[in-house]
Every structure is written in C-alpha cells, then in structure tokens.
Amino acid sequence: MVVRQYALMRVDRLLTNQPQWNRRQALLLLAQGQVRINGSVIRNAEAEADQFAQVCVNHHIIQAGVAPQYWMLNKPAGVVSATRDPQHPTALALLPAELQPQLHIAGRLDKASTGLLLLTNDGLWSRRITEPALKKPKTYLVTLGNPIDPDTAARFAEGIHFEYENITTSPAQLQQLSSHQARLTIFEGRYHQIKRMFGRFRNPVVALHRETMGPIALDPNLTCGQSRPLTAAEITAI
Ligand code: URA
C-alpha cells in the first residue's frame, strides 16, 4: 500500500525553482513533452509532484525520487538522538546503512533514555508528531530516585511552568505504579521535560523508557537496539 500524505508542488514551480529556467521556458519544456514525473510524460503545468517523485527533463534528473521511509527503533541507553556525534554512538547508526543519510529523528530522547524512537525522511509527517501545538500524547515509564510525592499527579495535571521558555506544560497524566515508578503521559516534548517536571519535587529520574508516541507503540518484539519499518496502518495513524 502506498501512503501519500506529503507536500505537493506544481510541476511548473518545480522547474522554475531550477536556476536555468524561467516560467516561459518551463512551459515550453512541458509543451514539448520533455518533462517526466516517475517516468510519465507530463504536459500540464498544474500537475503536481511530491518530494518523493522522480522528475526528469530531457532525461536529466531534476529531483532524484526516493522512497518514503518510516522506521521505529528500540533505543538503547548511551546512544545519542543525533545523525552525527564525534564522541558517542548515534541512533542513526543502528538503522540500515543505505538509509542513514536520508533519515532524521522525529522526537528525540536523551542519551540515557530508552525505548520508542521514530525515524523518517518525511519532514511533514515528523512535524505532525513533534509540533507541540498538535498535542500528540507520549507515554513514558519513569523510575525515580526517591518515593513519588503524593502531590505530583495533581501538580502535573495543572501544568508545570518552565521559566526559561516561559511556557506551562500541557496537563500531564501520572499513573503511579509503585513508590518509585509511574507511567507518565505528556503532550509536548520540551527539552529534558520529564526530568525538569520531577525536578520540581527534587526527585531525580533514574530511568526513562518511552512506550508510545501518539497512536504508535513500541513493538514488544524489538529487542534493545533493533529497528523495523512502520506498517502502513502505523504511518497513516499519525
Ligand atoms: N523527557 C526527558 O527528560 N528526557 C527524555 O528523553 C524524554 C522526555
């Protein structure tokens, strides 16, 4: 199943974005049947191509055309959520080597955190998960250094004010599992958000494991460091 949900651009615009053609020349190329999208001749200037289509003019490739990629990784501790890092192993390095140059991470995890990490080459799709205004829930299993203060759930539900950014976190849901462990659902992904939220109670986070991002759950069959492509249902659910 092909899942198409990314930005489209008119073919005349795609051609005039190239330095060598103005609009008149682009229309001429189209009229002469010299423009192909995914191998088919296109004469209509209003035809649209997405970022993954191959676009050729007179058999020269103008846009390479790559397959959209959507992956989940069970991130191990000690791996950084970065494409490159001079000192530490990166999450990208755990994906198939041929995909690594194209992929970016949709919603980082701290180096010590583990669990669900999503990677894609589709920028619009990743924004739908990470954009704070869209309030996609993310669920974490949190292990604390000290017993959980009885006021924590109520304070998280009110929202915690972060002075540095001058924002108040969206109401978060805390389900206490034991004296030192809880399942926490947050609706944005601010810098060190969960550590800073528990920091208000002077309670250090000793382990943090992401279980879900929006409708996508970490596949229990993935051992630490393993990855797999998302299913069509997972891709379209976002
Ligand atoms: N909040 C944190 O503090 N760290 C993470 O890795 C994710 C959310």
Q: Which residues contact 211 (CB under 8 A, 6 or more apart)?
A: 115, 116, 139, 140, 141, 183, 217, 218
Identify whether residues 94 and 29 lie together within a single domain.
no
Would you state the pLDDT for residue 101? 86
Identify whether residues 149 and 81 lie together within a single domain.
yes
Ligand 1 and 194: CB distance under 6 A: yes
User: What is the CATH number for 40?
Assistant: 3.10.290.10
Would you state the pLDDT for residue 67? 85
Specify the number of domains making up the chain: 2
176 part of a folded domain: yes
3 part of a folded domain: no
Identify whether residues 153 and 40 lie together within a single domain.
no
**Nearest to 158, CA basis, from 141, 170, 144, 146:** 170
> Residue 21 is part of which domain span?
8-63
Would you state the pLDDT for residue 146? 98
Question: Probe ligand 1: pick from 111, 138, 185, 193, max atoms within 8 Å of CB?
Answer: 193
4 alpha carbon to ligand 1 midpoint, in Å? 31
CA distance 90 to 140: 21
Ligand 1 and 81: CB distance under 6 A: no
The residue whose C-alpha atom lies closest to atom 3 belonging to ligand 1 is: 192
Ligand 1 and 109: CB distance under 6 A: yes
Identify whether residues 53 and 74 lie together within a single domain.
no
Identify whether residues 206 and 190 lie together within a single domain.
yes
Would you state the pLDDT for residue 6? 54
Domain boundary among 43, 63, 83: 63
201 part of a folded domain: yes
The residue whose C-alpha atom lies closest to atom 7 belonging to ligand 1 is: 109
Would you state the pLDDT for residue 224? 97
Atom of ligand 1 nearest to the CA of 205: 3
Domain boundary among 18, 40, 63: 63
pTM of the model: 0.82
pLDDT in tens, the chain (238 residues): 344 445 788 999 999 988 899 999 999 999 999 999 989 999 999 999 888 888 999 989 988 888 889 999 999 999 999 888 899 999 999 999 999 988 999 999 999 999 999 999 988 899 899 988 889 999 999 999 999 999 999 999 999 999 988 999 999 999 999 999 999 999 998 999 999 999 999 999 999 999 999 999 999 999 999 999 999 999 999 8
Identify whether residues 106 and 215 lie together within a single domain.
yes
208 alpha carbon to ligand 1 midpoint, in Å? 7
Ligand 1 and 192: CB distance under 6 A: yes
The residue whose C-alpha atom lies closest to atom 4 belonging to ligand 1 is: 192
229 alpha carbon to ligand 1 midpoint, in Å? 24
Identify whether residues 48 and 95 lie together within a single domain.
no
What is the secondary structure of 199-228 as a DSSP string?
Answer: HTTT--EEEEEEEEETTEE--TTPPTT-EE
Identify whether residues 16 and 83 lie together within a single domain.
no
2 part of a folded domain: no
Would you state the pLDDT for residue 2? 40
Would you state the pLDDT for residue 124? 84
Identify whether residues 82 and 180 lie together within a single domain.
yes
Would you state the pLDDT for residue 51? 81
Identify whether residues 39 and 22 lie together within a single domain.
yes
Ligand 1 and 195: CB distance under 6 A: yes
User: What is the CATH number for 145?
Assistant: 3.30.2350.10
1 part of a folded domain: no
Residues labelled as active-site residues: 110
Atom of ligand 1 nearest to the CA of 113: 6
